[in-house]
Amino acid sequence: MKIMITGSHGQVGTCLVNQLATTGHDVLAMDRDTLDITDAQQVMHTVCDFRPDVIINAAAHTAVDKAESERELSFAINRDGPKNLAEAAQEVHAAMLHISTDYVFAGNKDGIYIESDNTDPQGVYGASKLDGELSVISACDKHIILRTAWVFGEHGNNFVKTMLRLGQTRDTLGVVGDQFGGPTYAGDIAAALITIASAIVEQGNTEFGVYHFAGLPHVSWAQFAQTIFDKAQEQSVLSKKPVVNSITTADYPTPAKRPANSRLDTQKITQTFGIAASDWQAALCHLDDYIA
C-alpha cells in the first residue's frame, strides 16, 4: 500500500509511523512543518505527486479550551484541512481515513452513542470536527470517519501523563467523576486505522462510512485516574499513590463544555472489520514509557 499520513508527530500519527515502519508499505509521513493541510493547492500538489492508496488524517486542532478563543484556527484545521485532503483523495481515487471525536455529540444521552445518533456539538472544537466529518463525506466517496474519545499514549500530552506528573508531588487530587467515557490508547487507534486501510486496499472492503472506536470498560475520569495510580504503584513508577477525590464538573469549570457522556458503541467496527474495542487497561502496563 501507499499510505499518506498527516499529523505524523501527534499521538496517533507517531504510532502510525512506528507501526508502519517495518511493514514494507510505502509511507509518506507529513507534519505541520512539511504540509499545511489548510493550503488546498499545496495539499493537491502533494497528493497528486505521491498518489497514495490511502490518506490517513491524524492532524487536528485538539486544544478544546483554546478553540473557544481560536475559532478561526480551529475551523481552518478541523474543517478546511480535511476538506482539502478529501478533495485530493477523490482526485487520485484514494480512500480517506479521518479521525473524529465524541465531541460531535451533546453528551446528554442516557445510553451509549451509536454512529447514527444525532450530532449536537456544544463548543467550537466539536462544531469544527463535525464540519470536518461532513466535508470529508461530501468530498470523497471512499471515506472512513473514525470517532474516538479520551485518547492517551506515550507521545504528546494527555491525561495519563498529567496524572503521573501530578502524582509525583500531590497527596490528594480532585478529578471529575460525573463525566463518563472510554479511554482509548493511541496505539490501538493506529492499529485500527491500518487494519481498515488494508481491508479497503488489499481486500476490497467497501463498507465506507462512520465508525466508533474507543476503549472499554467505560469509566469516569476519577475512575480512570484511580486505575492509573493503582498500576503506577504496582509498577513502582510511583512510590505512593495520591488519594483521588471525585468532584463534579461544576467544581472544575473550563472555557469549553465537556460531554457528560462520551461512551461510544464499538460494535459496528467489530462486526465490519473485526476490530475489538481498545483495551486501555492493558495499555497502562508499561507506565515508565509515559514518563519523560
Return the CA Rg of the chain. Answer: 19
d(CA 280, CA 171): 25
Helix, strand, or coil (residue 208) = coil
Task: Please give the helix or strand (H or E) that residue 263 lies within, else none.
Answer: none
Do residues 280 and 199 make contact, with C-beta atoms less than 8 angstroms apart?
Answer: no
The β-bridge relationship of strands 219-220 and 180-181 is: antiparallel
Cell matching residue 39: 493550503
Distances 188 to 22, 215, 220, 233, 276 between C-alpha atoms, Å = 17, 9, 20, 24, 9
d(CA 25, CA 7): 18
| Residues 6+ positions from 172 with CB-CB distance below 8 Å | 242, 243, 244, 245
d(CA 233, CA 214): 26
Do residues 91 and 44 make contact, with C-beta atoms less than 8 angstroms apart?
Answer: yes
As annotated, the active-site residues are 125
The number of residues in the chain equals 292
Do residues 189 and 99 make contact, with C-beta atoms less than 8 angstroms apart?
Answer: yes
